[in-house]
Amino acid sequence: CHLIHYLRLSHHLIVLNYVIHTFDKLKFVSSEDINITDAVFDGVEVRVFEPPMKEDERLKRSVVYIHGGGWALASARTSLYNNLCRVMAESLNAVVVSVEYRLVPEVRFPEQFHDTLRATKHFLQPDVLAEYSVDPGRIAISGDSAGGNLAAAVCQQLSKDEHLTIKPKLQALIYPVLQAFDFNTPSYQQNMNMPVLPRYVMINYWIDYINANYDLAHSLLINNHTALDVGQALSFRGRLNWTSLLPSSFKKNYKPVIQNTGKAEIIQEIPALLDVRAGPLLAENETLRLQPKTYILTCENDVLRDDGVMYAKRLQNAGVEVTLDHFNDCFHGCMIFTVWPTDFSAGIQTRNSYIKWLDESL
């Protein structure tokens, strides 16, 4: 893929997505158990999973789901996410709306955020909820990885929208990516070469998402963009101080990487690095206080572990009820791997725990 990109035949992410979809020839077929339809919500494609109405049942609960893939890969229509949303709809007897937001390189930040926000706000309209027989008081917003990033950012935006009469009851974030401020948290250091999502891959996803240059990768890796002499970063430093936000079992013997002098021009050229819509962990306490009851799933073998743990701690400090569901023996992305030949026990274990929380809380 990178060779094709180097030869300027195509963007490597376009090629990678083509490979993914070539090996994933799922045809969506409704069954008597779940009705699957594709729709468009305010210009954004979605896939809707609807269980049949039970006798004497008037309204169902619902989950808006946002898939992962580094803002660049996968789809609501791939078999792994199609299967996850189908299982959620069946297990919860809930209407699941899976958002098909546009991907890098077709669009960059903040367009993925705008797509998911528009689709979610459209669904939250009373007449649309009535069309799908959804209870306005029992709606969750959820997502994994980059989808968890978008879910958290959208939930923050919805919480501040004074004109919105219906808002999510819950948010459920699965190993979310929540900040590009510090690429040397203990989990980034511990898992820097961990398969599935090594640190350099996550940094490249960020570079693609915010439309930056790959030449910046090393500066980002050593936190040059948030050095002590970068004035724009000063107000955010306390919000991502992992030495106070992480438990000792996660901090271990790792040391913070804080440069005295760095490259202020990086933030000047790429303000998205400090945009709360891109990094929800950067949000101020006033916004965090408005967030709904929250579930955050983290995995030990994941560079993003500490993003989720820090967000859980900041939400708790702001007075939000939070369940932090940590798995010591699991890895990034594991929850979607529940179908043969990638039916891993880690996937079944995390998916069951996630659905159990939704079932008890929604």
**Amino acid of residue 49:** F
- Measured at the alpha carbon of residue 303, what is the angle toward residues 21 and 264, in degrees to the nearest 5? 100
Residue bearing tokens 């709904």: 292
- Identified catalytic residue from 144, 182, 302, 306: 302
Give the separation between CA 230 and CA 140, rounded to whole angstroms. Answer: 38
Cβ(43)–Cβ(302) under 8 Å? no
Clarify whether 302 is annotated catalytic: yes
Reading phi first (left if > 0) and then psi (alpha if -120 to 50, else beta), residue 321 is in beta
Give the integer Cα–Cα distance in Å for 289 and 235.
19
Residue with tokens 């792994």, as numbered in its chain:
80
CA distance from start to end of the chain:
42
Helix (H) or strand (E) holding 152: helix 146-159
> What does the angle CA 50 – CA 86 – CA 34 come to, to the nearest 5 degrees?
40
Of 98, 145, 159, 187, the active-site residue reads 145
Catalytic residue among 12, 114, 225, 332: 332
Q: Are 310 and 245 in contact (CB under 8 A)?
A: yes
CA pair distance 309, 250, nearest whole angstrom:
9
Question: Quick count: other Cβ atoms within 10 Å of Cβ 89?
Answer: 25
Rounded alpha-carbon distances, angstroms, from residue 24 to 80, 82, 128, 260: 9, 11, 31, 48
Q: Active site includes 145?
A: yes
Are 169 and 292 a contacting pair, CB within 8 Å? yes
Q: E-assigned strands of 293-334?
A: 293-301, 322-331
170-174 and 94-100 strand pairing: unpaired
Q: Supply the residues annotated as catalytic.
A: 145, 302, 332
